[in-house]
Amino acid sequence: MIVVRPTGTAEAIVTDTLHAYFNVIAETTDGAWARQQLRQRRVEAVILIPESPSAHLARGQQATIVFETNQIDPLRLAFLQADLKAQIADFNRQILTLGVQRATAATATADKRLEDSSARLIRIDQEANDPAALRPDVDALYDELAPTLEAIPALAAAAQAGTAFMPPEQRGPVSQELTQSIQTAAEARTTLEAMRAEAHSPRPSPARIRALAAVLRGQVDALEKQMSAIKAIPPQTIVEPFQGEIRQLAPYQPTLITFYAPAALALLLQHFAVTFAALSMVRARLLGMVEFWRIAPIRASEIVAGNYISYGLLSLAAWAVLTAAIVFFLGVPILGSLNDLVTSAVLLILGSLGIGFVISLLASSEQQAAQLAMLVLLGSVFLSGFVQPLESIQFPVRYSSFLLPATFGIQLFQDVMLRGIAGQSWYYGALAALSTIGLVLVIVLFRHELRPV
């Protein structure tokens, strides 16, 4: 990625932090050059830093970091968008953490200034009778203490956010200390203003100077104690009160290959069965078998049963070979019952044969049958959950997924082989229903085929 910085001065915190979350290969102020690199596909994206992000934030607006890309692959673009959201969320947390860390550092500086102010107040008390020596010390005290008193409310407010998830017995005292620090800082600011005004009056009153110094010294001492409550809240707790952890409860954690292997097995098994069956009746017509069946003393249902058994056994043998291959060569386990796996394969084959025989009875040539079988395969690749989860397929298109045996075969094979469970029972019922509907359609169409011309 290439970062395009504003022509002016951008906050270094933005560009520096981006390097931790993105693969930044170059930084530039020339947006045209960066887009040229993007068009030539030398980089995947261009990051545009907004002008003066702090100015946007001061107006209560979000500063937008723009990512430009020329990606046309919808899948890669979806991954890029998801990754961008996650990276920007981490980036925001990092910015907040840095801000709170700076506030914490400011707290340490405030502690030092409060300590120095206490020493200076003692000296002011001793110089109350000497206006010439008093006024420079009071001015110096004002210059070093006033900014600290102005910063304390913001520091306390930031720390107050971190108390939201503390236990009640701890939250109460800490929150009270933080609230009291804001009030004490306001009172100390009033006392400091009064002391400065008195010191610069024509005739400063030593008694009043000493009284104000005593009051301010007490307020400063109180602030030093109250500032400990601000330092007690870790910056990470303020920015990220929660953290996430993934605990894997599945009995087996597959790799990308072992996860997709059962799905590919189900898809191939369906395609084999559909293709075998789709070419069967077309070949029978070419060989003249249909005319023989018309005059033979055999029922249509018996011929259909014979085709189901023969092609079913052939498909089952292909499944056994493929299953052995992925188990022994790819290392895919079979954690569930072998009986459940065989039942799933048989139901998947029966449902697929039904689709294949229907295609065969409707097609007028081998080329047409092969093309229709290929269309079933393509539809299964995109609608069965092989490429993307079924949940991401919008209705009513998702209804067509339930007409494909591979939709249920993929789920059953993955559940039995990788989870060790038989899957949901309605998967078996759905495959059985598809097989029954296919069988009925095949018998009806085949009886129509056997009618005398």
Print pLDDT tens along the chain (453 aa).
788 877 654 445 455 556 665 677 888 888 889 888 888 878 878 888 777 666 665 565 677 778 888 776 676 777 777 777 777 777 677 666 665 566 556 556 666 777 777 777 788 878 778 878 888 888 888 887 887 777 777 767 666 665 665 666 666 777 777 778 888 888 888 988 888 888 888 888 888 888 888 888 888 888 777 776 666 655 555 555 556 666 666 788 888 899 999 999 999 999 999 999 999 888 888 877 878 888 788 888 888 999 999 999 999 999 999 999 999 999 999 999 999 999 999 999 999 999 999 999 998 888 999 999 999 999 999 888 888 777 777 778 888 889 999 999 999 999 999 988 876 788 999 999 999 999 999 999 988 888 765
CATH number of 2-70: 3.40.1710.10
What's the CA gap between 13 and 53, in Å, rounded? 10
Asked if residues 354 and 435 have their Cβ atoms less than 8 Å apart, the reply is: yes
- Categorise residue 150: left if φ over 0, alpha if ψ from -120 to 50, beta otherwise: alpha
Q: Does domain 109-239 have CATH number 1.20.120?
A: yes
Give me the amino acid identity at 360: S
Question: Residues 297, 346, 389, 271: is their CA dihedral positive or negative?
Answer: negative
Beta strands in 358-450 (DSSP E): none
Is it true that 2-70 and 109-239 share their CATH fold? no
pLDDT of residue 236: 57
Asked if residues 34 and 2 have their Cβ atoms less than 8 Å apart, the reply is: yes
What's the CA gap between 410 and 389, in Å, rounded? 11
Question: Residues 367, 373, 376, 377: is their CA dihedral positive or negative?
Answer: negative
Element (H, E) at 3: strand 2-4
CA dihedral of 417, 421, 423, 424, whole degrees rounded to 10 = 180
Q: Where are the domains of the chain?
A: 2-70, 109-239, 257-449
Asked if residues 263 and 413 have their Cβ atoms less than 8 Å apart, the reply is: yes
What is the tally of helices (H) and strands (E) in the chain? 16, 4
Beta strands in 96-241 (DSSP E): none
What's the CA gap between 279 and 277, in Å, rounded? 5
Contacts of 278 (CB under 8 A, 6+ apart): 356, 357, 359, 360, 363, 369, 370, 372, 373
CB pairs under 8 A, 24+ apart, for 28-36? 28/2, 28/3, 28/4, 29/4, 29/5, 30/4, 31/4, 34/2, 34/4, 35/68
Give me the amino acid identity at 195: M
> Tokens representing 103?
């506030």
What's the CA gap between 28 and 33, in Å, rounded? 9
> Tokens representing 264?
């590919």
**Burial (CB count within 10 angstroms: exposed 0-12, middle 13-18, buried 19+), residue 164:** exposed
CA-atom Rg of the chain in angstroms: 39
What's the CA gap between 373 and 377, in Å, rounded? 6
What's the CA gap between 124 and 81, in Å, rounded? 62
> Tokens representing 227?
């500032």
Residue 47 β-bridge partners: 3, 67
Residue 382's alpha-carbon distances to 184, 263, 347, 401, in angstroms, are 67, 12, 21, 9
What's the CA gap between 391 and 2, in Å, rounded? 35
CB pairs under 8 A, 24+ apart, for 70-74? 70/38, 70/39, 70/41, 71/44
DSSP-derived pairing of the beta strands 46-48 and 2-4: parallel
What's the CA gap between 387 and 75, in Å, rounded? 10
